[in-house]
Amino acid sequence: MASGMDLRKRGARREARIRSHGPQGPDDPLLAIDAGHPGEVRINADQMMAISHLYETSPSIRACRAILFGQMLGSGVCVKRGGNNVKLTDAFAKYLEDRWIPFARDVIDNFLKYGFAVVSIENDDPPPFAGLREQRKRQRAAEPPPVQDGKAARARSVAYPQSAASIVGKGVRNVAVDARDSAANMVPIVPDPNVYMLAFIRRDDSNYKRQYRIYSTSSRNVFREDHAAEVFFRDEPDAAGNFRSPLATVFQSASFISALEELALQAEVVRARQLLVTQPATKQATNANLDPNNLFFDTESRALQSAATADEDAQQANNLSLSVRLCQMLNRIQTTDASGRPMDPAVRNPAVPPELPPRMFSVPDKQTVVPGVRPPEARSDLVDLARMVNDHVCASMGVPASVVFEGAFF
């Protein structure tokens, strides 16, 4: 999952590069290497994934989405002919609800996120458990008919004039026809953003018009242009391939709040397990004439003193390492079982009071803990900033903020 900081970096808008085109093609010799076609501008894929992540995780955006869907798709979809509504049968109305309502939701989602929607026509999925039904009918067809006496057989022939083989054959034939009809139905779908790439080039003599191309990024197609898919725009991208959708306009402020929430969480983690800050211990005041540093002045004596100090520091480091290993062993014994897995709280030693795993550390020699270290704190105006961003989101998506955030906490 992308963090708030990474989200802002991935969703940054890229600058447009001005490229001149002469009669022989582009002036930049590396242009054909940068893109799949000379002069081709690809849509910002990193920004697309960042906007999609924000759209799926922001509570305010999801609330606006729910209100929009309730207003637009609450009554379903209708079919018109000559400007008049067509009366639908129950089966076809159920088909529209199962196939076209999800397609309409995906189109609205893409319009809000990216400003466009890529549409592809694919074969309809079979009904639920169609394979299981066909398998059971085939098993019943393969089973031999039960042996009955003459009287029961005559009664069965009177009640059911058709033979068992004809009935089973008809059922299998109907299943095959249903499967063919399901495969013959074509329905529109909106593909996921990570399975295609959208780009455009300038065409005609003036190079003013855009021609959009859709490339499939699946392993089977390997960036092959999909001529069967089409793209429909609500807001076209800019010259650099950046989005101009409703969500792209508030991406910076919404991702800013996401980053602040992540930093506030980190501050709470530090406050729950506050770090210890040490400093060198202050030396006690002694007589300057009796200080050992003032008793040696020659080079040999200073070398001996330095060697003794180095040995003392090495011994202190070894003692500290031993203390750290001892603390780690105590932490492991108190929190894990014999196999190394986390210990069940129900069978944990009742003499250990904390529920959280202990974290023991050894203070270095000649170091003291600094008192009064101020732990990190979250911003005091975080709620006001979140309310302001919620207003921006509602304004960009065309939903009144009073309808979405009507409560004591907004």
**Tens of pLDDT, residues 327-366:** 778 777 777 776 777 766 555 555 545 555 556 666 666 7
- Predicted pLDDT at 176: 39
Pick the residue with more confidence: 137 or 200?
200
The residue-averaged pLDDT of 373-402 equals 85
125 Cβ contact partners less than 8 Å away, ≥ 6 residues apart:
182
Local confidence band at 282 (pLDDT 50, 70, 90 cut-offs): confident
- Predicted pLDDT at 350: 53
Question: In sequence order, what DSSP letters do the residues of 315-364 get, joined into one string?
Answer: HHHHHHHHHHHHHHHHHHHHHB-TTSSBPPGGGS-TT---SSPP----PP
Local confidence band at 119 (pLDDT 50, 70, 90 cut-offs): very high
Q: DSSP assignment, residue 293? A: G
Q: In the chain, pLDDT over 70 holds for what percent of residues? A: 71
Distance CA 23, CA 204 (A): 12
Local confidence band at 230 (pLDDT 50, 70, 90 cut-offs): very high
- Predicted pLDDT at 104: 92
Distance of CA 165 to the CA centre of its chain: 54
Confirm if 243 and 47 have CB atoms less than 8 A apart.
yes
- Predicted pLDDT at 150: 58
Q: DSSP assignment, residue 281? A: P
- Predicted pLDDT at 1: 45
**Tens of pLDDT, residues 178-207:** 444 555 688 899 999 888 999 998 887 777
The residue-averaged pLDDT of 304-308 equals 74
For the chain, what is the largest distance between any 2 Cα atoms, rounded to a whole number of angstroms?
Answer: 130
Each domain of the chain, given as residue ranges in start order, spans 4-15+32-124+185-255, 275-282+303-374
- Predicted pLDDT at 344: 65
Question: Is the confidence at residue 37, as pLDDT, over 80?
Answer: no
The residue-averaged pLDDT of 197-219 equals 85
- Predicted pLDDT at 258: 85
Confirm if 403 and 67 have CB atoms less than 8 A apart.
yes
Give the chain's mean pLDDT.
Answer: 75
In which element (H, E) is residue 41 found?
strand 41-42
Local confidence band at 106 (pLDDT 50, 70, 90 cut-offs): very high
Confirm if 124 and 185 have CB atoms less than 8 A apart.
yes
Start-to-end C-alpha separation, the chain: 27
| Token pair for 124 | 């309809």
Distance CA 45, CA 264 (A): 29
Distance CA 252, CA 238 (A): 17
Helix (H, G, I), strand (E, B) or coil at 160: coil
Local confidence band at 108 (pLDDT 50, 70, 90 cut-offs): very high
Confirm if 71 and 62 have CB atoms less than 8 A apart.
no
Local confidence band at 32 (pLDDT 50, 70, 90 cut-offs): very low
Q: How far is CA 284 from CA 89, 281, 288, 365, 366, in A?
A: 96, 9, 11, 15, 12
Distance of CA 404 to the CA centre of its chain: 24
**Tens of pLDDT, residues 249-276:** 999 888 888 888 888 888 887 777 777 7
Distance CA 382, CA 403 (A): 22
- Predicted pLDDT at 29: 46
Q: Which of 9-23, 235-249, 329-343 has the largest mean confidence?
A: 235-249
Distance CA 119, CA 100 (A): 13
> Which contacts of 20-23 are long-range, i.e. CB under 8 A and separated by 24 or more positions?
21/202, 21/207
